Structure 1
Amino acid sequence: MGVGPEAINGGVVDLGNSKSKVRRKILNEDDEDVAGENRCWIKFRFFGSCLSTGSKVESSVSGSSSQYAESKSTNETSRDQPVAPVISSSTTSNAESVPSTPKIEEELKIASQLRKFSYNELKLATRNFRPDSLLGEGGFGCVFKGWVNENGITPVKPGTGLTVAVKTLNHDGLQGHREWLAEVSYLGELIHPHLVKLIGYCIEDDQRLLVYEFMPRGSLENHLFKRSLPLPWSIRMKIAVDAAQGLAYLHEEAERPVIYRDFKTSNILLDVDYNAKLSDFGLAKDAPEGDKTHVSTRVMGTYGYAAPEYVMTGHLTAKSDVYSFGVVLLELLTGRRSMDKSRPNGEHNLVEWARPYLGERRRFYKLIDPRLEGRFSIKGAQQAVQLAARCLSREAKIRPAMSEVVEALEPLPGLTDMASSSSYFQAMSAARAGGSSLNARMGNRLQPPARSPSMPNRYYGSPYHNNSNNVPPFQSPVAKKS
């Protein structure tokens, strides 16, 4: 069961300006050295990568988050693709990239009220990182289920005490110490009902682990795309509201505004009551200050979710997150992935496929997940589609602020004008069913003429995609420091 903020013994340390200085130093290093690391992320393929014979727990390197879910099979891979790998002419060894413990302890002053676990305590809490304790994996490392004392750090018997999720650092991966430190820096400071609660951490020799509240329903990605039963409309809209509130807090309410940079379904976790919380802050950045309009940084994130202006220029703003939210809202509406090459040409990229329907009020129903079978609010769906269109505007300035998004979404979960009771929807469904039957009877008469071998194949897909899911994505230009 998910654990709320009241169950955590501790709080936020107020270090004034020194806190911000430490965080800026830690999290903006990539602005100083955009090409200083190998960021070519690859997909996790083999279950054995997560489990090793020694104390070292190996994992994957992935464009997807280190989300966890009670039902996720470890040989399943996300279809997310990294936005733009930045290839360095020289790579840095893990020994060089992980600072010594005394140095890191100084940097961790901002999180001094988090619980500090020993490696052995977390090893016992997860039953020696057993395979049946594995919840999921991602770019940072593997995530294991564990049990600790309600108000302390002592391991307890499974099923008792406080259930936690323990994220381990992948020693061989390309997301490493910097992302680990970013996670501690942000979640050690930011407390909100729609951000996953960081309970504690472990730093011991080369071991880097993080301990979170356990989210029993796993990720939104699993519920939308990997379950046979579709999420009900009201729950989809509730999740949209919760996630929007989390982003609005980061952008507009936090003492120091934050750009999340990796908003997607796999980073939205659900508690037992389907309350949504944002996880994985390894790519988060401090928002620009003063007269600055953007943060210039390497292009990182996930294909299909990244804002076009960010992909092309490397200029990161809060409106980049708003675009990503629009993509997730579209996924909630359609039940389709942001990128899906298993679909016909022209439908690989969700946003490009959906654009023709976003501005046409009478055709909005073509966007709604057919698995809902009319069990959705007509008014709510129309308003959500219009909001998605605003969030997905090609011009960043036109996109709404997240507080506006929250205001627009909040009434939608409670609307009860179900499409299934609408005579218009019933007639439309009957017409579609009749058309399908007619097509089946017509058989080959409706088939297009055979294509001549000399005729070129026209390609209607997204420019974000190459010919295969296994082909590395294109290299995006990254702006220099402004």
Structure 2
Amino acid sequence: MTRSFSGIISAAILLIFSVIPPPPAAALGGSAATIAAVYGSTTTVCSIAANQAVQQIQCWRDDQLLPPILPTVSFDYLAGGRDTLCAVRSGGLSLLCWNTSFAPKRIYNTSSAPLTSLAIGDAQICALRNTTSDSAICWRGNPVHFPDRFRMISSGLRFSCGVTETTNRVLCWGDGGGDDDDSSSSIQSDFSNFAMFSIHVGGNHACGIDISGKLICGGSNDNGQLDIPANTTADYKDLALGASHTCAITRSNGSVVCWGGDGGEFSSSITNTISFESIVAGFNFTCGLTRRNFSVVCWGAGWSSTSFLPLERTLPGPCVQTPCSCGEYPDYETLCVGDGHICAPCDPISADPALTPTPTPPSPPPPRSSSSPSRGLRRGLLAFAIVGSVGGFAGICSVVYCLWRSGVCFGKKKVHNSVQPTITNSAAAAQSSSNPPSRSSTLRRQASILMRRQRSGTSSSKQHADKAEEFLLSDLAEATGNFAAENRIGAGSFGVVYRGKLPNGREVAIKRSESGSKAKKFQEKENAFESEISFLSRLHHKHLVKLVGYCEEKEERLLVYDFMKNGALYDHLHSKSNVDKSSSVINSWRMRIKIALDAARGVEYLHRYAVPPIIHRDIKSSNILLDASWTARVSDFGLSLMGPEDDRAYRPMKAAGTVGYIDPEYYGLNVLTVKSDVYGFGVVLLELLTGKRAIFKSADEGGAPVSVVEYAVPAIMAGEVGRVLDSRVGAAEVNELEAVELVAYTAMHCVNLEGKDRPSMSDIIINLDRALGLCEVSSHGSISSGTISIASD
């Protein structure tokens, strides 16, 4: 029992601290922060302005405030080096760099591997990206193969270093040059006996914080850059290294201490009385972002005098939509415009068990080191670990007891706007653990429960205003002129769709199951009918077609929806009447991208916010309908299934979908996940880009059928997107061209053969939202130079 208890506590501690993210990368010229220092032929300091709808870059050079760089484009991080400024665009999918004349060059562009940090030195630009392997990528110099993922990286004058995730060891690369030996190998050797949390590189020296909180420096000490002040016992939490000096932020009060150079030329008395959020170093000066008012101050031998720069307030971190591991930054509402928030930095030395030092053999005296953590800090960490252990253990016990007591812990909890599992008895539970229940039986139970609730009481439409209303067949026949042929507007998964008008004047679309010689099996009609009822009665989203009601009389099955005035996307793209630019509202790149974004949000709702998640199984352009205001809505849930509540694959009895849109992995291997919908959506994106059907006859192939995937993807991969674009839309403007390229790369990744290589719908929405933003700004300030490349993971 004692051993089990200890194991549970250890697991709880690991779980608690596993969410702590790695620190950003750092460099001599700047870190993956919101301020950057550029040195060389000119001295420039830039930052990302707060309180702006666009997270734009502002710069100070030669005592002048420069106009914002690309004022219509948002950025997350900056880094500076010798005559070079680089910035990661919001979302991390693109990296831009500028020279001293601010001519832009795009050196990284992808839709699958966003950058998470950035480091610049004299010879290299390096970054970390969110991939499962080869997380570091560098430009300039010889290619480097990295055997391990890094938690952080840093670039200096002559070399770069990183701290590995798995071993906490320092690896360095680059050419020492000059009269030195291999500086990178020398530095790496200096840190070989330490398990490090961070590393920061300067001229020919490096400093970092090990996992116990001690500051350790190694390398050249020609100018005292390794002489950690002996008159202080402060612990440090952030560093910035120049060519021959070192600065650090103290953990106690946020003040900055600097050493190195000649006679304290890199120190300033003003930094002793100011608390800083972050610091960066140029060749021979340092700049910091103050905590009190988010202003930027610079000092040092290479700076004329300690001075506050007349920049607008600077963001302490990027405004993002993603969840925060360590909470949100205080008062982020006053810094971010819109619904974004700033994530608070995690304390790098928080007794993280993942950073347990590995035993090392006895070694010579180590490089210069600061004092060990204070007794108060150790006590605080011990108390924190104990409280976290008890809390984690209590949480685990609660979950175990809940599962033991009731089988499914949350089965009795009501879930708003979602589809709940209906298996409650032990026999059903046993069946679910071995073989999943059939789609027919599951949908039948769900539909029956919903219908019983709707029929109870004297007025179901009033009592369940948010549920589907039950109609009489005679009422729907009257609304459609007895299902007249002239009111027929299309067909769905189980029947014909008619336009109708209810007695209250509301226009609706009525789907009626087919009859006569074309009738399907009754069971198949039941499945599609029950599927739509069970899902749409509970799902409410502006980008899903709303179910108004239903009719069930004898063998008649009818569904009533809101009427979509502008019909299906398929008809607008592929109708013969849509020949020239003036024939359709959707013949503009902005409108096409907006429609794609609307539909993506509808599908994301099914995948992320329905409980359990819903897999549509038939995403295609004919199931994306457009209302009177041209808002896109996903329709036809006749083939939909409830997916597993985790990321496991689901194996239905047989594959279903539409040729040209169906996921090859699902069709060939019968493996169904939410990524199957992503494939279909990728085909829709290619339809929007090319104007081609999912399967069309190619004139070049003698009329042989060709898929739009085979037609478009090779051109996108070759960087020739323009060759396959729909000519009816007309030539794209500069900003539109970048937007279209982003959509094309996103579509290419959506139709990867394996589901694991496809993005999530949330990732797709981020890209489409950025693409739409590009279409809505003027061409002034757009990016017109540089190459586009797809990074290989």
- What is the TM-score with the length of structure 1 in the denominator? 0.63
In structure 1, the residue matched to 2:558 is 209
What is the distance in 1 between the residues matched to 2:686 and 2:453?
37
In structure 1, the residue matched to 2:485 is 131
Alignment of 1:389 with 2:748, yes or no, is yes
In structure 2, the residue matched to 1:164 is 508
Over residues 221-274 of structure 1, what are the superposed CA-to-partner deviations in whole Å (9 max), with x where a residue is unaligned?
Answer: 000000333522111000100011011111112232111100000000000111
Alignment of 1:406 with 2:765, yes or no, is yes
Alignment of 1:272 with 2:631, yes or no, is no
Alignment of 1:285 with 2:641, yes or no, is yes
What is the distance in 1 between the residues matched to 2:700 and 2:748?
23
Q: Match of 1:237, SS?
A: helix
CA-based RMSD of the aligned residues comes to 3.3
8 A contact 1:136–1:142 mirrored in 2: yes
Alignment of 1:380 with 2:739, yes or no, is yes
8 A contact 1:259–1:286 mirrored in 2: yes
8 A contact 1:111–1:185 mirrored in 2: no
Alignment of 1:173 with 2:531, yes or no, is no
Matches within 5 A, 1:133-282: 133-148=487-502, 155-156=503-504, 161-171=505-515, 172-174=519-521, 175-226=524-575, 227-228=578-579, 229-230=583-584, 231-282=587-638
In structure 2, the residue matched to 1:309 is 665
What is the distance in 2 between the residues matched to 1:237 and 1:396?
23
Alignment of 1:108 with 2:462, yes or no, is no
**1:139, distance to aligned residue in structure 2 (A):** 3.9
**1:15, distance to aligned residue in structure 2 (A):** 8.0
8 A contact 2:536–2:547 mirrored in 1: yes
**1:33, distance to aligned residue in structure 2 (A):** 6.8
Bigger RCO (CA 8 Å, 6+ sep): 1
In structure 1, the residue matched to 2:707 is 349
Q: Which has the higher helix share?
A: 1
8 A contact 1:393–1:399 mirrored in 2: yes
**1:110, distance to aligned residue in structure 2 (A):** 6.2
8 A contact 2:739–2:774 mirrored in 1: yes
Q: Which amino acid is 1:258 matched to?
A: I
What is the distance in 2 between the residues matched to 1:214 and 1:307?
30
Q: Match of 1:316, SS?
A: coil
**1:317, distance to aligned residue in structure 2 (A):** 0.3
What is the distance in 2 between the residues matched to 1:352 and 1:263?
19
Q: Which of 117, 120, 123 in structure 1 is aligned with 2:474?
A: 120
8 A contact 1:325–1:391 mirrored in 2: yes
8 A contact 1:347–1:353 mirrored in 2: no
Q: Which amino acid is 1:368 matched to?
A: L
**1:387, distance to aligned residue in structure 2 (A):** 0.7
Q: Which amino acid is 2:421 matched to?
A: S
Q: Which amino acid is 1:173 matched to?
A: K
Q: Match of 1:283, SS?
A: coil
Q: Match of 2:548, SS?
A: strand
What is the distance in 1 between the residues matched to 2:613 and 2:622?
23
**1:138, distance to aligned residue in structure 2 (A):** 3.7
**1:31, distance to aligned residue in structure 2 (A):** 6.8
Q: Which amino acid is 2:484 matched to?
A: R
What is the distance in 2 between the residues matched to 1:310 and 1:190?
25
8 A contact 1:144–1:165 mirrored in 2: yes
In structure 1, the residue matched to 2:722 is 365
Q: 1:313 to 1:119 in 2, by over 3 A?
A: same
Q: 1:194 to 1:385 in 2, by over 3 A?
A: same
In structure 2, the residue matched to 1:331 is 687
Q: Which amino acid is 2:541 matched to?
A: H
**1:289, distance to aligned residue in structure 2 (A):** 3.2
- For these two proteins, the number of residue pairs brought into alignment is 331
Q: 1:302 to 1:31 in 2, by over 3 A?
A: farther
8 A contact 2:569–2:624 mirrored in 1: yes
**1:21, distance to aligned residue in structure 2 (A):** 1.3
Q: Match of 1:221, SS?
A: helix
The structure having more radius of gyration, on CA atoms, is 2
Q: Match of 2:745, SS?
A: helix
What is the distance in 2 between the residues matched to 1:233 and 1:291?
34
Q: Match of 2:696, SS?
A: coil
8 A contact 2:615–2:674 mirrored in 1: yes
**1:308, distance to aligned residue in structure 2 (A):** 1.1
Q: Which has the higher strand share?
A: 2
8 A contact 1:375–1:418 mirrored in 2: no
8 A contact 2:512–2:559 mirrored in 1: yes
Over residues 318-348 of structure 1, what are the superposed CA-to-partner deviations in whole Å (9 max), with x where a residue is unaligned?
Answer: 1111111111101000000110135442761
8 A contact 2:510–2:560 mirrored in 1: yes
**1:105, distance to aligned residue in structure 2 (A):** 5.0
**1:290, distance to aligned residue in structure 2 (A):** 4.8
8 A contact 1:137–1:143 mirrored in 2: yes
Q: Percent identity?
A: 37
In structure 2, the residue matched to 1:299 is 655
Q: Which amino acid is 2:770 matched to?
A: P
Q: 1:115 to 1:398 in 2, by over 3 A?
A: same
8 A contact 1:15–1:110 mirrored in 2: no
Q: Match of 1:411, SS?
A: helix
Q: 1:22 to 1:111 in 2, by over 3 A?
A: farther
What is the distance in 2 between the residues matched to 1:163 and 1:205?
26
What is the distance in 2 between the residues matched to 1:402 and 1:165?
28
**1:411, distance to aligned residue in structure 2 (A):** 2.5
Alignment of 1:21 with 2:380, yes or no, is no
- What is the TM-score with the length of structure 2 in the denominator? 0.39
Structure 2 unmatched ranges of 5 or more? 1-412, 456-466, 785-793
Q: Match of 1:295, SS?
A: coil
Q: Which amino acid is 1:360 matched to?
A: A
**1:291, distance to aligned residue in structure 2 (A):** 7.4
What is the distance in 2 between the residues matched to 1:319 and 1:163?
35
Q: 1:290 to 1:248 in 2, by over 3 A?
A: closer
Q: Match of 1:315, SS?
A: coil
Q: 1:278 to 1:343 in 2, by over 3 A?
A: farther
Q: Match of 2:695, SS?
A: coil
Q: Match of 1:269, SS?
A: strand
Structure 1 unmatched ranges of 5 or more? 1-12, 37-98, 149-154, 425-482
What is the distance in 2 between the residues matched to 1:104 and 1:190?
14
Q: Which amino acid is 1:137 matched to?
A: A
What is the distance in 1 between the residues matched to 2:773 and 2:732?
13
Over residues 382-441 of structure 1, what are the superposed CA-to-partner deviations in whole Å (9 max), with x where a residue is unaligned?
Answer: 11111111111122111111001001101223434899xx9x9xxxxxxxxxxxxxxxxx
8 A contact 2:419–2:612 mirrored in 1: no
Q: 1:111 to 1:188 in 2, by over 3 A?
A: farther
What is the distance in 2 between the residues matched to 1:248 and 1:291?
15
